[in-house]
Structure 1
Amino acid sequence: MFDYMEIFIVNLIIPAVMLFGGYMMKTCPPRNISRWVGFRTALSMKNADTWAFAHACCGRVWWKAGWISLALSVLVQLPFAKASEETLETLALVMVLAQSFMLLGTVVYVQRELKLMFDERGRRRQ
């Protein structure tokens, strides 16, 4: 059903999204606070300062995490070039779950950084 190259490419989608999203957040974040686009949490949407900080922080984290995830994804997949279809499907599932946890972990990290930098009203801490 699936061959090695299809699985290989699918396993690079999340790292590619992180790299693209990180680059976009770093270089041209959304200017206006939006319910549809951007890093949207209650604290990040308090004001322009929290919005800008969240995007700068998330951009840096996604950019780094994207490269790490990309490198690990390639290295982990290389030994499975001749594996069975069942093994490749299991590998794909494990990789997508690991990458998803990494992606969600960055959201937790950025939210923690926001809470360290700003109070609950969105004012910078002293």
Structure 2
Amino acid sequence: MTGNLFVDWVMGPQLLGLIFLTAGYLQKTYPPKEINSLYGYRTTRSMQNQQTWDAGNRYSTRLIIKCAWILLIIGFNTSLVLAFISIGINTKAIIKVGLMLSGAFGVVAILTISTEKHLKRLFDNKPL
């Protein structure tokens, strides 16, 4: 279990999880009150009116926090497994960067698809 502490226990999906967790709790604590183009869940559907804006931001905030916890668990479990496998630090870094990239794209896809489906379910076929 030798190697670089950063690569072994910080870098990886858990780092991305911490970033998403921080962003999620910041947005939960300080939700965007008005529709804007800088802060919050911003898509054409969510920015239609204040009702869709509020619903989209509440839903996406809860979802990003859940995804962040999953990334933290995956990251720490990956670090634990990799700590006991005899491979080079570069190989560990490549594995973790790959997991970070797939985690980032996966969370963005899940967040967008799920929130858009949620907004569609709530607001389509209803007068806005």
Note whether the superposition's TM-score is higher than 0.5. yes
Unaligned segments of structure 1, at least 5 residues: none
Partner SS for 1:38? coil
Matched, 1:9 2:14: no
Question: When the two structures are superposed, what TM-score results if normalisation uses the length of structure 1?
Answer: 0.83
Which runs of 5 or more residues in structure 2 are unaligned?
Answer: none
Is 1:96 matched with 2:96?
no
Q: Moved runs in structure 1, 4+ residues, more than 3 A?
A: none
Q: Aligned pair in 2 of structure 1 residues 43, 111: CA closer, same or farther (>3 Å)?
A: same
State TM-score, norm by structure 2: 0.82
Deviations 1:29-74 (A, max 9, x none): 1111111111110011111111111111011101111111101110
Residue of structure 1 aligned with 2:68, choices 66, 69, 89 = 66
* CA RMSD across the alignment: 2.0
Change (3 A) 1:122 1:57: farther
Counterpart amino acid of residue 51 in structure 1: W
Cα drift, residue 77 of structure 1: 1.5
Q: Is the contact made by 1:43 and 1:120 (CA closer than 8 Å) also made in structure 2?
A: no
How far residue 5 of structure 1 moved from its aligned partner, in angstroms, is: 2.3
Aligned length: 121
